[in-house]
């Protein structure tokens, strides 16, 4: 049985005080799901130190595909691991769309994260235009296949996948539970027998109000939560529903 995971992507939000307050609230959450939080790079050490051995995991929102070198402004996977990161988000739609990360670059980052001993959370998803054109399953399949070609089927099955329809991120729109389940099932089928153990999360305006129905779906194993992860009460409710 797959253990549910609720991951909070804080994006570029917070300061020392608000981060410390949020962590204090997170430590009070009592739930069966695994919890992971993804603060901005600069707050990773602070969060890791305050979380301690509570069982909450800490991750990074991005990482360089390079081990080291003259890459000003970049942070390597080994640096992140050195500060306690256990997960790294790769291929988030904002990285793909705003920073023009390609499927190939995402695959290289995925490989770098695993090589450093951390678990990638691979994000895949379609735009509204692609959904309207009936291309959803083709788009996400191609994003998965690019990583399989780089690391092999076995390695991608050891990671976490997050289906995040681009049109539902930060818009208040959410894929219906049936729509999300359709894509999650297709992803699991693409992975084959090994995909039965792979956790696939849903991301896209997840809130306590819609989490329960999403989590009832047989192939949805938790959530990648954006804005709601900055609200301790809201995030706590989502975790308890997983």
Give 17-74 pLDDT, tens digit per residue. Answer: 999 999 999 999 999 999 999 999 999 999 999 998 999 999 999 999 999 999 999 9
Predicted TM-score (pTM) above 0.75: yes
The average pLDDT across 92-105 equals: 96
Cα separation, 144 vs 99, whole angstroms? 19
pLDDT score at 198: 98
Identify the three-state secondary structure at position 202: strand
pLDDT score at 171: 76
Domains and CATH numbers, the chain: 5-241 (3.20.20.70)
Determine contact, residues 27/52, Cβ cutoff 8 Å.
no
Cα separation, 227 vs 43, whole angstroms? 17
Report the percent of the chain where pLDDT is more than 90: 91
Supply the residues annotated as catalytic.
92, 164
Cα separation, 75 vs 64, whole angstroms? 6
Instruction: Produce one character per residue of 45-83: b if its CB has 16 or more CB atoms within 10 Å, e if not.
Output: ebbbebbeeeebbbbbbbbbbeeeeeeeeebbbbbbbeb
Residue 221 has pLDDT above 80, yes or no: yes
Residue 84 has pLDDT above 80, yes or no: yes
**How confident is residue 87, by pLDDT bands cut at 50, 70 and 90?**
very high
pLDDT score at 4: 97
pLDDT score at 144: 98
Residue 65 backbone zone (phi > 0: left; psi -120 to 50: alpha; other: beta): alpha
Cα separation, 66 vs 203, whole angstroms? 27
């Amino acid at each position: 049985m797959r253990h549910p995971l609720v991951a909070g992507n804080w994006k570029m939000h917070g300061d020392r005080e608000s981060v410390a307050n949020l962590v204090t609230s997170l430590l009070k959450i009592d739930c069966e799901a695994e919890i992971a939080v993804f603060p901005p790079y600069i707050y990773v050490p602070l969060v890791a130190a305050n979380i301690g051995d509570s069982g909450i995991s800490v991750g990074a929102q991005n990482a360089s595909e390079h081990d080291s070198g003259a890459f000003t402004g970049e942070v390597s996977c080994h640096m992140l691991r050195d500060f306690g990161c256990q997960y790294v988000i790769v291929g988030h739609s904002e990285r793909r769309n705003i920073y023009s990360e390609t499927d190939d670059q995402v695959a290289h980052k995925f490989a770098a994260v695993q090589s450093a001993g951390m678990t990638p959370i691979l994000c895949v998803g379609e735009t509204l235009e692609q959904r309207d054109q009936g291309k959803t399953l083709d788009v996400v399949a191609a994003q998965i296949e690019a990583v399989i070609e780089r690391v092999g089927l076995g390695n991608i099955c050891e990671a976490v996948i997050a289906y995040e329809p681009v049109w539902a991120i930060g818009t208040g729109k959410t894929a219906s539970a049936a729509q999300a389940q359709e894509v999650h099932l297709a992803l699991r089928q693409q992975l084959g027998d090994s995909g039965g153990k792979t956790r696939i999360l849903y991301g896209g305006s997840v809130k306590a109000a819609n989490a329960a129905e999403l989590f009832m779906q047989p192939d949805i194993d938790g959530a990648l939560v954006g804005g709601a992860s900055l609200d301790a009460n809201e995030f706590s409710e989502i975790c308890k529903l997983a």
